Structure 1
Amino acid sequence: MGFSSRLMLQATILFVLICFKCIFLGVESATLSLSTDKEALISFKSKISLELPNALSSWDQNTSPCNWTGVVCNKSGLRVISLDLSGYGLKGSISPHIGNLSFLHSLQLQNNHFSGKLPTEIGNLFRLRVLNMSSNGIQGGLPSNISQLTELQILDLTANNITGRVLEELTYLTKLEVLKLGRNHLYGAIPPAIGEIPPEIGLLEELQELSLAKNQIFGSIPNSLGNLQRLNLLDLSENSLSDKIPTTFGNFKNLLSIDLSSNRFNGSIPKEVLSLPSLSTVLNLSRNSLSGPIPQVLDLLKAVITIDLSDNLLSGSIPSSIGNCKSLEKLFMARNMLSGPIPNTMAEVKGLDTLDLSSNQLSGSIPVELQNLQALNSLNLSFNNLEGIVPSGGVFRNLSQVHLEGNPKLCLHSACINSQGRRGRTVAKVLVITSILVTLVLCVIFGSLLYIKRSKQKMPETSETFKGQHQVVSYNEIRQATGNFNQENFIGKGSFGSVYKGYLSQGIAIAVKILDTEVERSWKSFLAECEALKNVRHRNLVRLITSCSSIDFKNMAFLALVYEFMSNGSLEDWLEGKKKHVNGHALNVLERLNVVIDVACGLDYLHHDCEVPVVHCDLKPSNILLSEDMTAKVGDFGLAKLLIERTGNQSHMSSTNALKGSIGYIPPEYGLGEKISTSGDVYSFGVMLLELFTGKNPTHESFIGGQNLTRWVQLGFPSNVKQVLDPVMLAQMSSLDHNEKRRSPDAQYECLITILGVGLSCTADSRDDRISIRGALNKLKSARDSLLKPGPSEKIEK
């Protein structure tokens, strides 16, 4: 063999050896990487509290993780790329070692019971495309390094206890298609960068779902949000967003569903929002402060199934173009100021299942064509100005499905006299008139006998108000809803009767206030409350669903008011420690401030924005109720009085015989016989505010002689304010994690001084010296803005 041949052979052998060496090194490296993934998963398992049957029994350290439950490896079986343990009921915290699964593409831990914070190590999973930890108990803020997950397409953290400000870092997730952060405790304005997207990086251009519902997000929606043209779902409901709805929403050519309900949007409904032919599921703008007429372009929503515009300040007539919404099944326009007739074109919406136009100012007759809607099974036209004969066909055959109360000029077909009948039948008219007179005489005689008989039983006067009107719910329905008034459903007892929790046949949770008909004023209270509530609508007022004026099984008068059920009880429950958060904590500073702002918003509406101003007269913690998302609502209008006179700038009632509130919350002028007024409500509000932030009841045993809650707070105001603040609240402030503190302690105390100052301004002895509820509301909102303002340390970190 020649020299050149030997050299070639040696080179070939060397090349083969090098190749084998590389292969073995690669296998060894891959083995080490899979080993690292296994160790990370074992560490993850160690933080989980396992119960039998053990969902992770296959996680044996002696086997390959590629065979473990919920674990998926890549095709070569060398790295873990997916972890899906959704719905296994796992408890515990998320181990920071999760960040070692560096090849992970999908992490799905939804529908478990994980708690604690999201570890910052999640930011190391730079290959991650899906991150779903919804429906757990995760706490703390979002990791700021979440912006490193640049491949992320789906981020779903819905229904946790995540707190803090909405991170602007989210805007760096340029491939994001689904963003769901709803039902947490996030706050702050939507990051201004969203939309204002630099074209060179295409920021968030792939976003298809945006859900930030049930947080504490405030401020206005930036116009640039309309640039997210791939969006098909937008849910910003149950926040504190304000200002106008941007007209740039007209850019959403692919939007299927939009929910902006339960915010503070004002102004008119942009026609651009009603010009989205892609909408095919929900358009929900309810429970805001939108005003003006409904745009005529409503007919462009040909594919939408549900439209909800209820609980706003909308005026004008219902557009006749509604008849072109051929796919519409549910239409809610209740509790607005709509006027004019119900358009006949409504009958062209053949698939309409539910129609609620209640508590408006609609006039004219009920279109007889509505009885041709075969799918219609729920119709609410109550509390309007409708008149004439009620149709008899279709849904009107079963009046339990139709709500018509509050329309005194309506009459059922069987009880109406046709005033446009044949004029030639004079004899018939005489007979009718004669029969009516005879009937009236008999009724007077029978009524007198009945009155004498029932007066011995202390029965209240019978209701002439509700004669000829449909009762929304019967006594039997109320009885069934409350489990035959089961004591397990008993909530409490007030001045005029008892309150029970119940469920209507549709599964709606309700609170039923049953008035004690033995109480002399109960009937008047019932009528007053119906009158006060039928035209008031605001997100911070407890909603009256319906009422009942009936006879019970003992043939006794039965009066009941049916309200929305408030799952978080009363403010009194929280002050007395009967209600707490799941972590055992009481209300913190921000939550207390949100409560008084909500109450002030409700009062401001009653005092200044109602057609006829309303004075509550009995404002106190037990009459402030909290919803599931901790929104405070003013309830119990049993003592509310409609103002019927105005003198100068001071509203008051002409009657001086009304009840005037509860001890400790009654303004001093009421004790001197002065007339009830809006400033009296302001005084009660101020006492309640001071009670909330001091933790001391106005009837506390330490207040003797001339001492009271207001004077006690004045002793420490402002220099020694710590001496009067609630010690429970102070302990929470001092125990906050460094990362959770938004402001320095001194800055927080300055904010609390402002809040107590508002309370003192409300409780001045002279009502002429008191601040108005609108003035108090503005000061409290400014205090909240100051409290939420980033501190110096947070600005430096950013």
Structure 2
Amino acid sequence: MGFSFRSLSLSFSSLCLFSIIHFLCFSLQAFAIHRNNDTDPLALLEIKAKITDDTFGVMNSWNDTLHFCQWYRITCGHRHQRVAMLDLSSLKLSGSISPHVGNLSFLRELYLQNNSFSHEIPTEIGHLQRLQVLSLYNNSFGGQIPTSLSNCSNLVSLSLQNNNLVGGIRPGLGSLLKLKEIHLGTNNLIGTLPPSLGNLSSLQQLYAKRNNLHGVVPDTLGQLMNLRILSLFGNQFLGTFPPSIFNLSLIEVIDIAQNNLKGSLPLSLGVSLSNLRFFSISVNQFTGSIPTSISNASQLEALQLGRNNFIGRVPSLEKLHRLLKLDVSANHLGSGKADELEFLSSLTNATNLLAVSMAHNNFGGKLPEQFCNFSKKLRMIFVNENQISGNIPSTIGDCVSLEFLVAENNKLSGSIPSSIGKLPNLGLLFLDHNDFSGSIPSFVGNMTNLFRMDLSNNKLQGMIPSSLGNCKNLLELDLSNNNLSGPIPPQIFGSSPLSLGLYLSGNHLSGSIPMEVGNSKNMGYLNLAENMLSGVIPSGLSSCTSLELLDLGANLFRGSVPSTLSSLRGLRQLNLSHNMLSGKIPEFLKGFSSLELLDLSYNDFEGTIPIEGVFKNASATSLAGNKNLCGGMPDLGLVPCKLQQSKRGLTITLMIIITTVSMIIGATLVLICLFPYLSRKRKRESPSASYGKELLKLSYRSLLKATNGFSSDNLIGAGSFGSVYKGVLDQEGIIAVKVLNLMHHGASKSFIAECEALRKIRHRNLVKVLTACSGIDYHGNDFKAMVYEFMVNGSLDGWLHPTFGLDGMPRALIFSRD
């Protein structure tokens, strides 16, 4: 074989070319790596810049003193020094997500949950094609779910719950075939649930609870054979719930409560859903009966069927050993028969049971004796609003963890078992509207955690136990409408807040209200009506400044309403009716702006009714049966008061006094003026003479009537000091009335001077004076007038000089007798 120089030359050329290409590729790769190494830290710094509040200062490590892969909460990949995970969860951070997050192209996991991030989720997040986990829950993100999320084809877990997201659920999510978890609950999402979600064959968890979603639940969800959790509660879904979902054998949680769904439960429910742990369809419109197969779902921990339209009986639940909560309330279950509570006895093996609610049905029969034998953890029993009869079993004391016992509105009878006193954790005890008799046992004071107790509307007797004072957490105590007697124990006041109220009405309680009532400063309602309580209303009530309702009606209280009650400014209803209270209606009541109802009827109140505040509203005020009350708004229908205030602030009484005094003073002045004249006249004339007659007693009213209201038609003449009117009196006939103009300066002196002149001058040719009048007119002004005998011939001066005199008065006032 020969050696060719040409061949060697070609080989050498090829080798050089290969080396050049390799060098260029290496250089380009090195450049790319260097460029990519710059991309991630720059994007991270942009993310840091959008964080406005860093409570713990965790972002301080993000600086050039460290390689970015060593920055706090940053994890880079092993093969490439690129950011693979960013975890800023639970750091109390605020701000927004920078759009530069889309440049972290190797990012697989992004955790920002449990912070205070806001604004919209950037659409650039759709650039993260390697992203597998997006966890943004428990923040304040707004806006819509980005449509670009459908580009994140490797997404496995999407957690956006507990934010402020709006708009609809994107149908594009149905293209993310690797999705196993979708968490969209507790937002403000609207629209329907996309049927495309049925394509997600790997989906295991679908949470869309507490939104505003509507429409039907798509049948395609029945294709999700790997689905384990379906939570749609708290939306507005309607129509028939897809029966195919009840065939998803792996499903563990079905929570579709609080919607408008309807349909019936399949008879094989407990068999087909053998892995079911949580089943809640409460507050819907499901009908039919509860399938007996439900007991086969032996993994069941919560069975919640309340507030639907189920009928019939509750089947045996004997295989539900893990049951924690049973709720069949507010249906149409039962028919009042004696054996309808047998299902309770079947719970013997449910040793971890926490709550039983069967309220608002038609269950009959008696509570089983072993009611509390099966679980020492039972905390809540709700059997109210049924037809249950018989006694409360004495074994109730075995429920040592019991916190709520609600059995009102049944047909329970007998006495309250003493074993209830063994329930130290009991906080709420409602036994009202039954037929319980006997006394309230003193051991109720052992229930120191009791905060509400209602034993009203029974047939309980005896005294209220003072041991209730040991219940220092009581917010409400209702013992009304029983046959209780004796005094109100002072111990119940002050030891407990009673902020929801104390109700003792409709009993036979006697004695007075304890002064200790003032210790209950936070008491909201106090109803002691329809008892035999007596004495006065204690002033200590003024310390109960939180009172909104005070009802003391139909008792034997006496005395006046204490003025100290003016401190009860928050009262909305006040009833003091049907007592023996007296005195005036308290003025402070008209200033109670929040008062909506006031009943003071059938007492002995007296005086004028105010017209301000609640007294303006006749429909909110009851004052009947108080014979000595007057005035008030016309709608109250009471007689008007004789003494009313004038617009000028003077009472009529005061005006009458002023008028009377003025008339007395005026009459005295007239008598002083006329006394010398009359004395001399008696000496000259016999008692039978006409001049010896007594002066007429004329009032302003009589002169007003005589002169036709001082009409201008009756005017004889006028001057600066007054006017003269012609008048007619029933007894004296025609008269002349000189009315002084008191606005003119010197008019009063003219009146006095004229009286003095008439006292001194006596002549048979002078006109006869009949009387004088000094008083008050109907406008409250001073009024003075002289009354003369009327002479039709005019005056002498008028005949000689037909003009007016110097004083401006016509001379006709001095009449000739001839």
TM-score with structure 2 length normalisation? 0.51
Which residue of structure 2 lines up, in the alignment, with residue 628 of structure 1? none
| 2:489 is aligned with 1:479 | no
Count of residues in correspondence between the two structures: 462
| 2:63 is aligned with 1:69 | no
What secondary structure does 2:106 align onto? coil
What secondary structure does 1:39 align onto? helix
What secondary structure does 1:335 align onto? coil
1:245–1:270 contact (8 Å) kept in structure 2: no
What secondary structure does 1:35 align onto? helix
**Structure 2 Cα separation of the partners of residues 219 and 268 of structure 1:** 19
Per-residue deviation, 1:38? 1.5
Per-residue deviation, 1:37? 1.6
**Structure 1 Cα separation of the partners of residues 455 and 39 of structure 2:** 81
1:153–1:177 contact (8 Å) kept in structure 2: yes
**Structure 1 Cα separation of the partners of residues 352 and 225 of structure 2:** 30
What secondary structure does 1:324 align onto? coil
Which residue of structure 1 lines up, in the alignment, with residue 527 of structure 2? 517
Match of 1:101 among 85, 92, 104: 104
Which residue of structure 2 lines up, in the alignment, with residue 710 of structure 1? none
Which residue of structure 1 lines up, in the alignment, with residue 369 of structure 2? 368
2:278–2:301 contact (8 Å) kept in structure 1: yes
**Structure 2 Cα separation of the partners of residues 330 and 369 of structure 1:** 18
| Structure 2: tracts of 5 or more residues without a match | 335-339, 420-436, 440-453, 477-491, 506-521, 532-543, 552-596, 598-613, 621-818
**Structure 2 Cα separation of the partners of residues 225 and 519 of structure 1:** 60
Match of 2:394 among 392, 395, 399: 392
AA in 1 matched with 2:342 = I
What secondary structure does 2:59 align onto? coil
Match of 2:321 among 318, 326, 335: 326
Please list the CA deviations of residues 594-648 of structure 1 after superposition, one character each: whole Å capped at 9, or x if unmatched: xxxxxxxxxxxxxxxxxxxxxxxxxxxxxxxxxxxxxxxxxxxx9xxxxxxxxxx
**1:595-634 mapped onto 2 (5 Å cutoff):** none
Per-residue deviation, 1:314? 2.1
**Structure 1 Cα separation of the partners of residues 530 and 416 of structure 2:** 36
**Structure 2 Cα separation of the partners of residues 485 and 77 of structure 1:** 75
**1:78-117 mapped onto 2 (5 Å cutoff):** 78-117=81-120
Which residue of structure 1 lines up, in the alignment, with residue 160 of structure 2? 157
Residues 371 and 558 of structure 1: CA distance in aligned 2, closer, same or farther (over 3 Å):
farther
Please list the CA deviations of residues 496-517 of structure 1 after superposition, one character each: whole Å capped at 9, or x if unmatched: 99xxxxxxxxxxxxxx995441
What secondary structure does 2:388 align onto? strand
Per-residue deviation, 1:216? 0.2
Match of 2:171 among 168, 175, 180: 168
**Structure 1 Cα separation of the partners of residues 15 and 371 of structure 2:** 92
Per-residue deviation, 1:358? 2.2
Residues 479 and 349 of structure 1: CA distance in aligned 2, closer, same or farther (over 3 Å):
closer
Match of 1:37 among 33, 37, 40: 40
**Structure 2 Cα separation of the partners of residues 485 and 126 of structure 1:** 69
Per-residue deviation, 1:134? 0.3
Please list the CA deviations of residues 179-200 of structure 1 after superposition, one character each: whole Å capped at 9, or x if unmatched: 00000000111113333xxxxx
Per-residue deviation, 1:101? 1.4
2:83–2:106 contact (8 Å) kept in structure 1: yes
Per-residue deviation, 1:2? 6.2
Please list the CA deviations of residues 137-164 of structure 1 after superposition, one character each: whole Å capped at 9, or x if unmatched: 0011111222111211111000000011
1:248–1:272 contact (8 Å) kept in structure 2: no
Moved more, 264-273 or 221-230: 264-273
Residues 162 and 464 of structure 1: CA distance in aligned 2, closer, same or farther (over 3 Å):
closer
Residues 360 and 52 of structure 1: CA distance in aligned 2, closer, same or farther (over 3 Å):
closer
Residues 97 and 462 of structure 1: CA distance in aligned 2, closer, same or farther (over 3 Å):
closer
2:54–2:94 contact (8 Å) kept in structure 1: no
Residues 491 and 153 of structure 1: CA distance in aligned 2, closer, same or farther (over 3 Å):
farther
Which residue of structure 2 lines up, in the alignment, with residue 285 of structure 1? 281
**1:605-684 mapped onto 2 (5 Å cutoff):** none
| 2:29 is aligned with 1:26 | yes
What secondary structure does 2:196 align onto? coil
What secondary structure does 1:364 align onto? coil
Which residue of structure 1 lines up, in the alignment, with residue 138 of structure 2? 135
Match of 1:251 among 226, 247, 253: 247
**Structure 1 Cα separation of the partners of residues 360 and 469 of structure 2:** 23
Residues 96 and 463 of structure 1: CA distance in aligned 2, closer, same or farther (over 3 Å):
closer
**Structure 1 Cα separation of the partners of residues 291 and 119 of structure 2:** 48
**1:285-304 mapped onto 2 (5 Å cutoff):** 285-304=281-300
Per-residue deviation, 1:292? 2.5
Per-residue deviation, 1:226? 1.1
Which residue of structure 2 lines up, in the alignment, with residue 240 of structure 1? 236
Per-residue deviation, 1:274? 4.2
**Structure 2 Cα separation of the partners of residues 64 and 369 of structure 1:** 69
**Structure 2 Cα separation of the partners of residues 65 and 186 of structure 1:** 38
Which residue of structure 1 lines up, in the alignment, with residue 309 of structure 2? 313
Please list the CA deviations of residues 224-245 of structure 1 after superposition, one character each: whole Å capped at 9, or x if unmatched: 2111111111110111111222
**1:171-210 mapped onto 2 (5 Å cutoff):** 171-195=174-198, 203-210=199-206
1:366–1:386 contact (8 Å) kept in structure 2: yes
**Structure 2 Cα separation of the partners of residues 491 and 23 of structure 1:** 81
1:255–1:276 contact (8 Å) kept in structure 2: no
AA in 1 matched with 2:382 = N
1:249–1:273 contact (8 Å) kept in structure 2: no
Residues 237 and 485 of structure 1: CA distance in aligned 2, closer, same or farther (over 3 Å):
farther
Please list the CA deviations of residues 324-377 of structure 1 after superposition, one character each: whole Å capped at 9, or x if unmatched: 112212212222222133323222433323222222221112222334213342
Which residue of structure 2 lines up, in the alignment, with residue 381 of structure 1? 383
**1:748-759 mapped onto 2 (5 Å cutoff):** none
**Structure 2 Cα separation of the partners of residues 357 and 465 of structure 1:** 22
**1:451-490 mapped onto 2 (5 Å cutoff):** 463-465=456-458, 467=460, 479=473
Match of 2:407 among 401, 404, 416: 404
Please list the CA deviations of residues 7-48 of structure 1 after superposition, one character each: whole Å capped at 9, or x if unmatched: 434533543443243223212201201211221111111111
| Structure 1: tracts of 5 or more residues without a match | 196-202, 417-439, 444-460, 498-511, 522-551, 560-637, 639-662, 672-798
1:395–1:402 contact (8 Å) kept in structure 2: no
Per-residue deviation, 1:71? 1.6
Which residue of structure 1 lines up, in the alignment, with residue 633 of structure 2? none
Per-residue deviation, 1:62? 5.4
Which residue of structure 1 lines up, in the alignment, with residue 434 of structure 2? none
CA RMSD in angstroms comes to: 4.2
2:390–2:414 contact (8 Å) kept in structure 1: yes
Which residue of structure 2 lines up, in the alignment, with residue 341 of structure 1? 341
| Identical pairs, percent | 29
1:247–1:273 contact (8 Å) kept in structure 2: no
Which residue of structure 1 lines up, in the alignment, with residue 357 of structure 2? 356
AA in 1 matched with 2:325 = K
**Structure 1 Cα separation of the partners of residues 526 and 17 of structure 2:** 102
AA in 2 matched with 1:392 = S
**Structure 1 Cα separation of the partners of residues 285 and 350 of structure 2:** 27
Residues 270 and 520 of structure 1: CA distance in aligned 2, closer, same or farther (over 3 Å):
farther
1:59–1:68 contact (8 Å) kept in structure 2: yes
AA in 2 matched with 1:375 = K
1:249–1:272 contact (8 Å) kept in structure 2: no
Match of 2:54 among 41, 51, 56: 51
**Structure 2 Cα separation of the partners of residues 293 and 97 of structure 1:** 57
**Rg larger in 1 or in 2?**
2
Which residue of structure 2 lines up, in the alignment, with residue 221 of structure 1? 217
**Structure 2 Cα separation of the partners of residues 86 and 227 of structure 1:** 34
| 2:149 is aligned with 1:121 | no
Decide which structure has greater helix share. Answer: 1
What secondary structure does 2:166 align onto? strand
Per-residue deviation, 1:413? 8.5
Per-residue deviation, 1:485? 12
AA in 1 matched with 2:304 = D
TM-score with structure 1 length normalisation? 0.52
**Structure 1 Cα separation of the partners of residues 166 and 55 of structure 2:** 33
